[in-house]
Structure 1
Amino acid sequence: MQCRDKCGACCIAPSINKPFYGMPQGKPAGVACIHLDKHMRCVLFGDPRRPKVCEQFTPEPDFCGENREQALAIMLDMEGVQVK
């Protein structure tokens, strides 16, 4: 599966518990990474400063669902975050 255009769910929903470039406290679940651009793409893609957890993420239907809204709901649920 290819990343969905203008999605960014994987840069918003998951928490990152370790410090990384630009986010020394890590990233809480449900908060957009500061490296997510206005087109919902990671500006650190291919950059060695990109967190390992992000490098290792592979889009697949179980995480990404059929659209951006489903992807956010699925991933936030996995993080234990209530979707309103």
Structure 2
Amino acid sequence: MECRTGCAACCIAISISSPIPGMEDGKPAGVRCVQLTEDNRCSIFGQPDRPAVCSGLQASADMCGSTDQEAFDILAWLEQETNPRILE
């Protein structure tokens, strides 16, 4: 499966604890990554300063669902289930 162009759910819904250019402390869940362009494309895609967690994400039906909103819902749920800071 390939990413849906313009979805960006994984760039917004999940937290990223490693540094991102322009977000040196990473980003919390639900916050838009500063590297997203207006059309929701990653401006550092394929570049060495892209965080490993981002490069390691692979689109799948289980993670992305069949719509952008479904992807946001799934990823928000996964974030809540796996990130103890969200549960505090």
Do they superpose with TM above 0.5?
A: yes
- Which residue in 2 is equivalent to 1:74? 74
- Structure 1 spans left out of the alignment, 5+ residues: none
**Unmatched 5+ residue regions in structure 2?**
none
Please give the root-mean-square deviation of Cα atoms over the aligned residues, in Å: 1.5
The structure in which a higher percent of residues are helix is 2
On the 8 A contact 2:21/2:35 being kept in 1, the answer is: no
Letter in 2 for 1:3: C
For residues 1-84 of structure 1, the aligned pairs below 5 Å read 1-80=1-80
**For 2:2 and 2:19, how far apart are their aligned partners in 1?**
27
Structure 1 stretch 24-33 or stretch 12-21: which is displaced more? 12-21
Find the aligned partners of 1:45 and 1:69 in 2 and give their Cα distance. Answer: 22
Q: Which runs of 4+ in 1 moved over 2 A?
A: none
SS across alignment from 1:10: helix
Shift of 1:23: 0.6
In the TM superposition, what is the alpha-carbon distance from 1:37 to its structure 2 partner?
0.7
One-letter amino acid of the counterpart of residue 28, structure 1: P
Q: Scaled by the length of structure 2, what TM-score is found?
A: 0.87
Give % identity: 45
Q: How many residues align?
A: 82
Shift of 1:20: 2.5
Measured against aligned partners, the alpha-carbon deviations of 1:57-76 in whole angstroms (never above 9, x if no partner) come to 00000000000000000000
